[in-house]
Amino acid sequence: MHEETQDIDNRPAGNTTIEARYTARQRRALRLWLRLVRTSRRIEADVSAQMQKSFGTRFVRFDVLSQLYRAPEKSLSVGDLGASLLSPSGNISSLLDRMEADGLVRRVADPNDRRRYLIRLTDRGLDQFGQMALANAQWVTGAFSAIDNETLDRLHDELGSIAAICE
pLDDT beyond 60 at 12: no
Mean pLDDT confidence for 123-142: 97
Return the CATH number of 58-138, one of 3.30.450.20, 3.30.465.10, 1.10.10.10, 1.20.1250.20. Answer: 1.10.10.10
Name the residue ranges covered by the structural domains of the chain: 58-138
Spatial contact of 70 and 96, defined as CB atoms under 8 Å apart: no
Dist CA 42 CA 52 (whole Å): 15
Give me the sign of the Cα torsion angle 71, 76, 165, 36.
positive
pLDDT > 90: percent of the chain: 75
pTM of the model: 0.81
Q: What pLDDT was estimated at residue 10?
A: 54
Average pLDDT of the residues of the chain: 90
Diameter over CA atoms, the chain:
73
User: 30 falls in which pLDDT band (50, 70, 90)?
Assistant: very high
* Strands of 39-143, DSSP E: 75-77, 105-110, 113-121
Dist CA 114 CA 11 (whole Å): 65
Instruction: Reduce the DSSP state of residue 146 to 3 states and report it.
Output: coil
Dist CA 52 CA 58 (whole Å): 6
